[in-house]
């Protein structure tokens, strides 16, 4: 038997082993879609090229995904759910607010570049879509990263490690700092992942004032 999350209903189901080939095709299509959407703009990617990259017909791709929008949404949800599961290990870990934020940020920075870049697609492409797809993308992103950070922020406020301000605003501020260190300029200034990590933690907890 095979466990599988239905991409159209988001329900977790168990399927007979005879569907292994179908699930393998779905996985391959999602991986092909991720590579294609990362390398080119949404409008420039076609279902046909995604199918050809994994050796299936365009008809086979449409059998699993109604259209390019459905494939994009499924790809993003799958990628973001994967990140959410990783980040949750840091959220659930013991330690101070600073230690857990460091752990979560380190997990993120250690991801392959293309896996980090998937999260940028939300910002790049969000205005292409209308609701409910747009809302689903926003929710998937928020659940994957800002809401995980918000949990740590709330614990930090509760334990007196952080000032008593809005935890959601703090989480978005932290995300913004992390996004800055991923720019080409920052990557030239900050030579390695450890320096990037130290910079983010130091800036968030100590600020930029001279000591």
For the stretch 92-140, pLDDT in tens is 999 999 999 999 999 999 999 889 999 889 989 999 999 999 999 999 9
pLDDT at site 169: 96
Rounded distance between C-alpha atoms, residue 141 and residue 83, angstroms: 10
Measured over the CA atoms of residue 44, residue 47, residue 53 and residue 58, the dihedral's sign is negative
Candidate CATH numbers 1.10.12, 2.60.40, 1.10.10, 1.10.520; the one for domain 1-66? 1.10.10
Q: Where are the domains of the chain?
A: 1-66, 69-211
Candidate CATH numbers 1.10.357.10, 1.10.10.10, 3.90.1580.10, 3.90.180.10; the one for domain 69-211? 1.10.357.10
Query: Which residue(s) pair with 175 in the sheet?
Result: none
**Is a pLDDT exceeding 50 seen at residue 15?**
no
**Is a pLDDT exceeding 50 seen at residue 13?**
no
Rounded distance between C-alpha atoms, residue 15 and residue 10, angstroms: 14
* pTM of the predicted structure, to 2 decimals: 0.83
pLDDT at site 19: 53
Check for a shared fold between 1-66 and 69-211: no
């Amino acid at each position: 038997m095979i466990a599988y999350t239905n991409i159209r209903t988001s329900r977790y189901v168990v399927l007979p082993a005879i569907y292994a080939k179908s699930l393998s095709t779905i996985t391959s299509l999602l991986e092909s879609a991720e590579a294609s959407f990362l390398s080119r703009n949404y409008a420039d990617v076609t279902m046909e090229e995604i199918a050809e990259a994994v050796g299936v017909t365009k008809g086979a791709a449409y059998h699993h995904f109604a259209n390019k929008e459905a494939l994009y949404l499924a790809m993003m949800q799958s990628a973001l759910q994967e990140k959410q599961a990783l980040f949750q290990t840091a959220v659930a870990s013991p330690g101070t607010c600073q230690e857990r934020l460091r752990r979560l940020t380190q997990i993120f920075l250690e991801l392959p570049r293309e896996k980090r870049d998937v999260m940028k697609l939300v910002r790049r492409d969000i205005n292409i879509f209308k609701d409910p797809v747009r809302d689903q993308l926003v929710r998937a992103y928020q659940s994957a990263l800002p809401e995980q950070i918000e949990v740590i922020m709330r614990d930090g406020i509760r334990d007196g490690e952080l000032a008593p301000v809005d935890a959601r605003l703090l989480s978005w501020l932290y995300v913004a700092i992390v996004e800055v260190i991923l720019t080409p300029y920052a990557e030239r200034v900050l030579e390695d992942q450890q320096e990037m990590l130290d910079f983010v933690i130091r800036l968030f907890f100590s600020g930029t004032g001279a000591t």
